[in-house]
Amino acid sequence: MSTYLSEEVQNRNLEKYALDLETEGLTIVPASVTGITDDLLGRCTEVLLSKFTELSGGCPISLEDGPQGSLDWSSSRESAFTAGENTPEPTQTLIQQLLQLDRCFRDLFLNPVVDALIGHMMGAHAKQKQRSWRYSSTNSFVKWQGDYGYGEHLGLHCDQGANPLPWGHTALTANATWCLTEYTKEDGALAYVPGSHKSNSHPNHPFAKDRAVAAECPAGSVIIWPGSTWHGAYPKKTPGLRLNAVAYYRHHSVLPQENMKLTMRDQDWQDCDDPEMMRELIGFDDPFPYESQSYPFPKLKQTAA
């Protein structure tokens, strides 16, 4: 069986990374290939640390030391980070809607290398040369030292798990995680099961955990995988932060996590490197879901008096 490679993948010499996605269900692309700059990554980090302090009500935070104050989780609604009566105090939280925070994220998430590899997994529009993928959400997982993790099975799951089986070869969702800090197992890296995307099913425990490995890479790398790959994360054993910026994508046919057609309408979405591409990935011109009568309707002919 041969793998179709788009012109975009071939022209950018991304065959190796496309092959990783086909065989392993995950690829790691270095900054030397994406062309991302230290200045842009530094700006993203600066904005996220500032936003953490704002959302936490004033808790200082740094890459070297993590949160520098006691955090009260009592008012937090139950989530994946706070669920369960006997779970340790969380050492991770989520900053959402990054596209709205600063232009640095809008530029980061328009990277043409990542776009080409997302396209490899999701394909072109069936009838037109348009993207069949859109943003689903943009978030940052802020993680610091502690025993808290996702449990004995590392939280292994499939991102497209809400979609009914059977799944096919085309990815229904995909993740591009930009690593703003180094990823190692001890630092709480992503855990994944190589080749698990081929099962087109939910993780099988304890089989899945026993075969999980860490996605380890330098800061500045981007980790990409389809929604069918089994993945979770390891607890962070070292001081400081594990910080990322995540663009989560959906196939055109899949419900988004964030309704960006509404939330981004009055935001500075055009303030970016490629407003036309941003407009398409947000989905402003998509016919569905419509908000008013969109189908042309005939009018009564006016007869001469």
- Which of these, 210, 236, 80, 232, lies nearest to 156 by C-alpha position? 232
For the chain, how many structural domains are there in total?
1
Determine, yes or no, domain membership for 302: no
Determine, yes or no, domain membership for 178: yes
pTM of this structure = 0.93
Domain that residue 241 falls in: 7-282
**pLDDT number for residue 297:** 82
Residue with tokens 């993740």: 175
- Which of these, 93, 140, 174, 105, lies nearest to 244 by C-alpha position? 140
What's the rounded Cα separation, in Å, for the pair 106 and 59? 26
DSSP string, 203-238: --TTHHHHT-EE--B-TT-EEEEETTS-EEEPPB-S
Q: Indicate the average pLDDT of the chain.
A: 92
**pLDDT number for residue 1:** 37
**pLDDT number for residue 85:** 65
Q: List pLDDT tens digits, range 100-151.
A: 999 999 999 999 999 999 999 998 654 556 899 999 999 999 999 987 778 8
What's the rounded Cα separation, in Å, for the pair 212 and 19? 20
CB atoms within 10 A of CB 70: 7
CATH number, residue 264: 2.60.120.620
Residues of the chain with pLDDT under 70: 1-2, 76-87, 124-129, 305
**pLDDT number for residue 125:** 55
